[in-house]
Amino acid sequence: MSSKAFIRVFIFLTFCCSTLLCQLVVNVKNKGDEVIVESIHANTTSDTVTLEYLNTDGTLVTLFIDFKSEAQLFKVIMPGEEELGDTQPQTICFITRFSHSDFISSDAMSKLRQKNPTAIRTPEEEKAPGTYTHDLRVDLVKSHVISPHIYNVCQDAVDSIHFTESDLRTISRSLSKDYATMMSAMEKHEPTKYARCMDTQEIDRPCLCRFDLCIGWYPCGLKYCRGKDTVGKVVSYRCGIKTCKRCLTFFHVVDTKRGCLWDV
């Protein structure tokens, strides 16, 4: 077995083991009509939700939402490109501000029950694509100033944890955090100074990398119905969830084109 195949099998087995403990398993088709299996788990104690799936190319994607810190972490683990002499998996973390209206609460998520784990789910709404241009690189050791969960989720990314200054400002105001303290954990970049990696010929030259991912199915809101209570009064009650799909594009600066070999 090649090292690339071994890494893919290892990631797949790790993913399958984690799904045994997950709360919800969802099957959803991607644009190529391939079935992607998502696992979703809610932790009401820490007020977090984790969504994870293994892409058909062997890439493992984890979405971790920290409701208290208003931050969501996208962790991506990609198998190495053996044909290009890169046999080690690569891990990247993208951090964005989280809006509570984008996902149901961890408490509501914890109350969902699996009805038919083999069914193919179709989202009710496809959200407009989102684009983030990351101009900050986060120091893993100081990452707790954003969220206490970044260290555990992104520790394998080390020098590839990316954030945006605009989201940093918004979170600092919303949670009354000291902006200067938060900025002290960041390394500033100017994405406009760099050429796209796809247009860069020198393999050791820094460039602006693009990465795309899609969350094919997730609970994006609650549904409410109207009815009458025992005395005939009209009341509103929760009667289901609304599901969505969203695709995102992340731009970030890499030290060399070697860190962005997929952007061609």
- On the question of pLDDT at 67 being above 60, the answer is yes
Which pLDDT does position 215 carry in this prediction?
96
Residue 226 lies in a domain: no
Which pLDDT does position 117 carry in this prediction?
81
Give CA–CA dist 257/204, Å, rounded.
6
Residue 225 lies in a domain: no
Of 214, 217, 213, 215, the closest CA to residue 262 belongs to 213
Residue 161 lies in a domain: yes
Which pLDDT does position 128 carry in this prediction?
94
Q: Flag whether the pTM goes above 0.85.
A: yes
Residue with tokens 């053996």: 82
- On the question of pLDDT at 88 being above 90, the answer is no
Residue 157 lies in a domain: yes
At 80, is the pLDDT very low, low, confident or very high (cuts 50, 70, 90)?
confident
Residue 146 lies in a domain: yes
Question: What would the mean pLDDT of 63-75 be, rounded to a whole number?
Answer: 97
Residue 223 lies in a domain: no
Q: Which of 12-21, 60-69, 189-198 has the lowest mean pLDDT?
A: 12-21
All residues at 6 or more sequence positions from 41 whose CB lies less than 8 Å from its CB, including other chains: 21, 22, 23, 24, 49, 50
- On the question of pLDDT at 238 being above 80, the answer is no
Both tokens of 225, joined, read 């119905």
At 3, is the pLDDT very low, low, confident or very high (cuts 50, 70, 90)?
very low
Tell me how far the alpha carbon of residue 26 is from its chain's centroid: 16
User: Taking the CB of residue 199, how many other CB atoms lie within 10 A of it?
Assistant: 9
Could you tell me which residues are beta bridge partners of residue 223?
A: 240
Which pLDDT does position 98 carry in this prediction?
92
Q: Which amino acid is at 230?
A: T
| The total number of structural domains that make up the chain | 1
Residue 253 lies in a domain: yes
Which pLDDT does position 234 carry in this prediction?
80
pLDDT one-digit tens code per residue, 14-63: 444 444 445 899 999 888 889 999 999 999 999 999 999 999 889 999 99
Which pLDDT does position 227 carry in this prediction?
81
Q: Which of 68-82, 83-97, 202-216 has the lowest mean pLDDT?
A: 83-97
Write down the mean pLDDT value for the chain. 88
Which pLDDT does position 35 carry in this prediction?
93
Pairing of strands 24-29, 90-97: unpaired
Residue 189 lies in a domain: yes
Give CA–CA dist 55/36, Å, rounded.
7
Q: Which amino acid is at 46?
A: S
Question: What would the mean pLDDT of 214-219 be, rounded to a whole number?
Answer: 95
Residue 229 CB burial class (10 angstroms; 0-12, 13-18, ≥19): exposed
Q: Report whether 43 contacts 106 (CB < 8 A).
A: yes
Give CA–CA dist 119/26, Å, rounded.
8
Which pLDDT does position 84 carry in this prediction?
59
Domain that holds residue 180: 3-217+247-260
Both tokens of 177, joined, read 């955090």
pLDDT one-digit tens code per residue, 125-184: 999 999 999 999 999 999 999 999 999 999 999 899 999 999 999 999 999 999 999 999
